[in-house]
Amino acid sequence: MESRKHFLKLFGWVALVNILARLLGFVREMILAYYFGASAATDAFLLAYTIPNFLYLVVGGALTTAIIPYLVGDVEPQERWDKANALVNQLLFGFTLLLVCGELWPLTFISWLSPEAPAATLAEGARLYQIMLPAAFFLMAGSIFTGMLNAHRRFQLAAVAYLSLNLAVILFLLAGARPVGIAAAAWGVLAGAVSFAFLQAVQLYRIGYRYRLRMSHPGTSRIFLVSVPIALGGAVMPLYALVSRFFAGGLPEGSIAAFNYGMLLMQLPLTVLVGTFANLLFPGIAEDARGGQYSRMADTFIRGTRMAILSLVPLAAYLSAFASEIVQMLLGYGAFTAGDAVRTASALAVLAWGLPFHALNLFWLRFFYSLEDNWRPVLASLAVVLLLNGLLSWFLRPAFGLNGLAAAVSVTGLLNSVWLWGLIQSKLPLREHARTILILLLQVALPTGAATAISLGIKSWLAAQTGFWFHLPAPGAACLHLFAGGVSGLAVLLIGYRLLRVKELAIIRRYLPGTHR
């Protein structure tokens, strides 16, 4: 019980820091939207940011994940530091080559990302790309440092360093958006990457890490081999963004930015809650896999899956029903026009329904990695994202525009979940739980439908009252609708869960302040 309470306390603290980081990320997006809206300048910035961000999320995320089991297995601290130094130095060498190529031929790289984008957008993107590309190395180094800190169970320190990524962009935008334009955001990305790596290096120094110019270690080849499938698996969400930007470049100006805003809003709970939860559980899951504790892994798998379904299916319905209000409240200021808001909200309303499936995929992949079954889920996910998502995007774009691209993302997220569920059956004893998961889906669907209907009814009633009895500015009305709809919907949802005897309610109550068993 004490270890569980300690985990929940740690999860709460790290989740709080991640929430703060994501809030800073949305403040960054709000400031970007305020100064530049969903415009050609924003499209250019997003195209230029695609490669550094892709490398950070995919390669960096893979290294953060892959390094943990191998560092956990090392008894001698110096062995851990030797592996880490070899990784950092090998990455430095590799990214030096990438940096030279990127700085010499920036337009070539940007044109590959969105060949249908206007020439002026591509030219501006190439200029911004030259500024941001060096950030890739610092993001890679920082990702390795995050894995090292997590292996030592210093989750808080890595989470705090993550704040600097968004904070730097915010400060640079506030100081330089007017005098230097969109380039201020690019310089902010570079400054944030440097601070992200530096802050973690300082913390590692305090626990004994010392940098050494070492280029090889027997363990690094194993880490890189394991990192390849993890990188490909972690590429799922970034590849969604990459494919969508490829097709959005042929739509009206600002479409890349509008779709990006919708994706960011949808991914907020994915990164804050599910990502934090999965990262905190991963060292324990890896230890269970090493010890052959497959029944305990299956129990963790099912409990996490149930909590994700119970919380994220209703949240997806809420995001879809109140997409316009969410966009208006967070982004509807300055240069962000009414047309920008309509396009972003429309995309978010469709993207929201993929949230539960993307979350389950992110959580389930940790179990495959712990069992060193890396290639099967990766190949399945890549087939879904690159082939099916690409085909659906190509087919739906002419008729539905951005909404077609959003539908492709949500539908393929569902298909990926079905595929991964089938694959994990051969590794963990889960067959007896399939029926309970189906029952749970029904238990969630009925209260979610009722809660959504009540929320929309209250929103419509409030809209009529604010137009007849009193007037509110658009952001104020959006906040009122979100609050009233959210509170009423949550009340109906909890009543429904209680009537249907959802067992997780009792577990949650057990850990609430002031409650006792």
| Alpha-helix residue ranges (DSSP H) falling in 105-235 | 106-113, 119-132, 135-151, 155-180, 183-206, 218-234
Q: Which of 18-22, 45-49, 95-99, 218-222 has the lowest mean pLDDT?
A: 218-222
Question: pLDDT by residue (tens digit) across 271-326?
Answer: 767 766 776 677 678 777 878 888 888 888 888 888 889 989 999 999 999 999 99
Please name the helix (run of DSSP H) or strand (run of DSSP E) that holds residue 342, with its range, or none: helix 338-351
Parse the chain into domains and list their residue ranges: 39-234
In order, the DSSP letters of 262-305 are: HHHHHHHHIIIIIHHHHHHHHHHHHHHHHTT-HHHHHHHHHHHH
Percentage of the chain beyond pLDDT 70 is: 84
pLDDT in tens, 56-83: 888 777 777 766 766 665 556 677 777 7
Helix axes 106-113 and 40-54, enclosed angle (nearest 10): 100
Per-residue confidence (pLDDT) for residue 464, from 0 to 100: 75
Predicted confidence (pLDDT) at residue 11 exceeds the cutoff of 60: no
Per-residue pLDDT tens digits for 348-390: 999 999 999 999 988 888 888 788 787 888 888 888 888 899 9
Binning pLDDT at 50, 70 and 90, where does residue 215 land?
low
The predicted structure's pLDDT at residue 14:
64
Residue 15 has pLDDT above 50, yes or no: yes
Q: What's the predicted TM-score (pTM) here?
A: 0.78
Q: What CA–CA distance (Å, rounded) separates 75 from 299?
A: 29
For the chain, percent helix, then strand, then coil, each to nearest 5? 85, 0, 15
Least confident interval from 99-108, 306-315, 413-422:
99-108
Reply yes or no on whether the pLDDT at 403 is more than 80: yes
Q: Whose structure tokens read 């409240």?
A: 329
Q: Grade residue 1 by pLDDT with cuts at 50, 70 and 90.
A: very low
Closest CA to 282 of 84, 61, 88: 61
pLDDT tens-digit series, residues 108-122: 889 988 888 888 999
